[in-house]
Chains A and B, each alone.
Chain A
Amino acid sequence: MTAVPLTTRAAAAAPLDVGRIRREFPILARTIHDRPLVYLDNAATTQKPQAVIDAIVRYYREENANIHRGVHHLSEAATAAYEESRARIARFAGAAAPEGVVFVRGATEAINLVAHSYLRPRLQKGGRILLSAMEHHSNIVPWQLVAEERGAGVSVIPMNDRGELLLEEYERLLDGPVAMVGLVHVSNALGTVNPVAEMTRMAHARGIPVLVDGAQAVPHMSVDVRTLGCDFYVFSAHKMYGPTGVGALIAPPSLLESMPPYQGGGDMIRSVTFERTTFAGVPARFEAGTPNIAGGIAFGEAVRWLEGIGVENVRAHEEDLLRHASEVLEGVPGLRVIGTAREKAAVMSFVMEEIHPHDIGTILDREGIAVRTGHHCAQPVMQRFGVPATARASFGVYNTREEIDVLARGLRTVREVMG
């Protein structure tokens, strides 16, 4: 991704009508403990706009049928809607073709699929899987499982105190017996935006394939997998205003063709006898069984909705929120931000002197403020920064500066309660 100066980028984007956007999210009208909901846990999952909720309801009310099976009208309509969604997701992510989009349960399943079907047959004893120090557990554990089975291991790209990867170290590690690189595009715990295009080029120069976990990137910035150049790109619908239980694995169809099936079942075969089964082409080969049809269709609707607003407009809005949050939280006594990368998405992880994040989370909750507290499924990141856990406020398209001010007041209340 090319870095554009913040001011230019902000000026190029139209200011969002956040009031109108908020009205599209029914849940934002809720109160929590008699206070207006201030939802700042978007890195865990975003809320869903009415359009996405309607897509799920419409499918079950008007189109429900199994896909890729029937000749009857409903099955054809459901199949068409599901495949339209796939094509929309392909265009959104810059995939070469709809066949390069595999529907999965989420980013986690996508990584397991690649570890199992792509890497496992290729991984030699003594081989290394190179991961960054800021990976989510979902981009660590699937690789460890395969590595253990093959007598291989995991190596780690270190980061500095700001939470930026050390590219010289990465380059040095690439010269080892590396079979695969796994990188998070945007860190869920730190907000760091990693230079994945450059890091992919460095790996490819040595013939090493790269998987990028884009779960935290696609809701916040334009992503074009062909520009990034990575072999595999994965993300989940529910972090980009879509439903839970569905996500996408993006890869060139020719690469997917080279991989054996991940799970067996219906819908992934060409022909079956008890002696021999031949498998379907891609992506069907990786989509055994009846999928999450309503979720897949609503996923496409979430993409349509996000494109309607403009991902770059979302990015500009969230950059403004991040700047405001950085200023305002700096004024809270005893607060330390964890993750201060120069390229950073709208995530504020922080700790407060002598106050455990869980106590922060409980007290904020009673003010109607939802933040995540804990290790964010990134325990190695916590270890790196020497903290047991952090509190994390993560922003989305519907958040406002006023909500950040409410957070800052809430943190002063935390201080007051905890003495």
Chain B
Amino acid sequence: MTVDADVRDLYQQVILDHNRNPRNFGPLAGADRTVEGFNPLCGDHYTVYLRFEGDRVAEVRFTGAGCAISKASASVMTDALRGRTRDEAAQLFDLFQKLITGKADPGEHLEELGKLAAFSGVSEFPARVKCAGLAWHTMHAALRPDGETTVSTE
């Protein structure tokens, strides 16, 4: 059976690799912000930990469980965020949302996206957009010192 091209595009090597070996996985002692994110419809849940130095993200880790898309997205996100200011992290959040909903052409943002470009295939799978966005929405809430401590996709 030949594998569907969109499926190949969705499950790129970067995603499979981060799903199998998630980076920055595990709790972070001394986190400034700890936020939980849930998708109540499918049961995926992640906790994102952020530690800041001044305005910059010094450390970011995550725990939790879910599908390959949500876990790989969380993992790649943690790699991408370190060293960014709150504003830069929020901008990256916006760009990633546009990418997975098909509103941004990855070709025009290759440099900013880096490995995040691997998630461009998600836009062909509307049911999976929430999977890819879960950890990001959680992180987005964690950027604000007074933000929520739990986030739900519904």
Contact = CB atoms under 8 A, between A and B. Distances in A.
A379 interface: yes
Nearest to B13: A419
A391 to B, nearest CB: 11
B43 interface: yes
Contacts of B131: 358
A363 B7 contact: yes
A409 B68 CA distance: 21
Interface string A343-381: 000000000001111110011001100000111000100
A33 interface: yes
Contacts of B20: 354, 419
B125 A362 contact: yes
B9 to A, nearest CB: 11
B67 interface: yes
**Interface extent on B, as a size class?**
20 to 34
A408 to B, nearest CB: 11
A33 B16 CA distance: 23
Contacts of B68: 355-356, 359, 418
Nearest to A388: B43
B10 interface: yes
Given A374-B41, A418-B11, A367 B4 contact: yes
A412 B3 CA distance: 11
B29 interface: no
B121 to A, nearest CB: 11
B99 interface: no
Contact of B128 (A354, A358, A367, A389): A358
Interface string A50-91: 000000000000000000000000000000000000000000
A275 interface: no
Contact of B127 (A362, A379, A412): A362
Contacts of A138: none
B8 interface: yes
Interface string B66-82: 11110000000000000
B110 interface: no
Contacts of B10: 362
A358 B6 contact: no
A355 B41 CA distance: 18
Contacts of A205: none
Contacts of B8: 417
A417 B13 CA distance: 10
Interface of A: 33, 354-359, 362-363, 366-367, 373-375, 379, 382, 388-389, 409-410, 412-413, 416-419
Given A362-B7, A409-B1, A419-B20, 18 more contacts: A356-B68, A358-B42, A358-B44, A358-B69, A358-B131, A359-B11, A362-B10, A362-B125, A363-B11, A367-B4, A382-B43, A389-B42, A389-B43, A412-B1, A413-B3, A417-B7, A417-B8, A418-B16
Q: Shortest 7 CB-CB distances between A and B: which pairs? A: A366-B4, A356-B67, A358-B67, A359-B68, A366-B7, A388-B43, A374-B42
